[in-house]
Amino acid sequence: MSDSALFQTYARFPITLVKGKGSRLWDDQGKEYLDFMGGLAVTNLGHVPDAVKNALVDQLDQLWHMSNLFSNPNQEKAARLLVDNSCADAVFFCNSGAEANEAAIKIARRYHQKVKGNGRYEIITFNQSFHGRTLATLTATGQEKVKEGFLPLPEGFKHVPLHDIAALEAAVNDKTAAIMLELVQAEGGVIPVDQDFLREVRALCDRHGILLILDEVQTGMGRTGKMFAYEHYDVEPDVFTLAKGIGSGFPVGAMLAKAHLKPAFVAGAHATTFGGTPIAMAAVAATIETMLKENVVERAAEASEYLIGQLQEKLEGLPNVDQVRGKGLLIGILCNVPAGEAIAELHKRGLLVVPAGPNVIRLLPNLLVTHEEIDTAVGLIASVLTEQAAAKTVGS
């Protein structure tokens, strides 16, 4: 790629994908792959789902773009579907997860400063979290590697260890506006949040008048076996964010909030040129309607149980595997050796997976993945990791 006109910001795999359908992808050489990456939790209905494709084609013949200064029936429809199927009362549409998290940070600050009048602005997040690549969201991210070379960073963010309620309580002060966390730290190694810890966080927020923001960019839209991951916890956020799977591959983000936050986002408080276009909203509405009609969330929960069970059975006793963890169809295989070599070998054998940190193989199949596809994937993973363990034993 030395002659590429692109900035080389990605350490790309040596594969050029040109076509996809369902759980399958094909490269420019005609080789077929079983996709257990899902575009990083984006293609939740599989590649090129018919209902979403048809909705996009229909919309392309009508209207592509208009300013958000005009009423947009497609936005109203998509927002109503989200509100009616969640704890939220209002939606702001944007283009990406980072933008959705920016909107969440902004509404938290503006709520405290313009509605409550208390001047709060600090956001507490957690070590190993990932919230985006804008200056504010990379500052919110609890990983130093994404911040290198971007100093000075914006003020107003603190980080504490996940599951350390004492450290969290110590970080709270009269400037704290919100606590923000992912319910599965996906980029940080596929680490689910403990149920008791989240309940303690919610109680802490309630005691101090702090907002609870949940970053559901990767966990939302059925990925964890519930429409939204917070449903596993019997806890409701004040604000949560979505992107990735909400548009089946079309770039869309959304910030959703409870009714008491509506006065913080009034005319002129926040805006976007391309967020919520008629085309994007057609993708969102078709995605949600398909999920509801085809019981996609329930099917994902069943597929998750089968996949995790098969992984635990087939990988049991391997000396290079420490744990299978995750929630729903966001699964990590924690190895005690670097995972890069195994991931590269799986790609060669036709299974696409992705890392989550140096030692974790992350699996993100689409939510309609079949048992047959799971069996194929688990068989390849077991073979590669078994061979890797045997080679290490011989080498030592």
Residues marked as binding? 97-98, 130, 133, 215-218, 272-273
Using CA atoms, how far apart are residues 240 and 258, in angstroms rounded to an integer? 9
Query: What amino acid is encoded at 126 in this protein?
Result: F
**Cis peptide bond prior to 355, omega within 30° of 0:** no
Of 12, 3, 17, 9, residue with least CA distance to 249: 17
Instruction: Write the single-letter amino acid at 142.
Output: G
- Tally Cβ neighbours within 10 Å of residue 97: 28
Residues of each annotated binding site for N(2)-acetyl-L-ornithine: 133, 272
E-state strands within 59-217: 90-94, 122-126, 157-160, 176-181, 184-185, 191-192, 211-215
- What is the sign, positive or negative, of the torsion defined by CA atoms of 325, 330, 336, 342? positive
Residues at the binding site for pyridoxal 5'-phosphate are 97-98, 130, 215-218, 273
The pair of structure tokens assigned to 164 is 């350390």
**The tokens of 157 are what?**
């963010």
| Residue with the two structure tokens 């450290």 | 167
Distance CA 266, CA 176 (A): 23
Across 314-343, b (16+ Cβ under 10 Å) vs e yields bbeebebbeebbbbbbbbbbbbebebeebb
β pairing state of 239-242 and 253-257: antiparallel
Would you say 343 and 361 are in contact if contact means Cβ atoms under 8 Å apart?
Answer: yes
Residue 80, amino acid: R
Q: Which amino acid is at 156?
A: G
131 phi and psi, to 5 degrees? Answer: -125, 0
**DSSP H or E stretch at residue 241:** strand 239-242
How far apart, in whole angstroms, are the C-alpha atoms of residue 243 and residue 371?
27
Contact 317, 393 (CB under 8 A): no
- 226 close to 328: Cβ distance less than 8 angstroms: yes
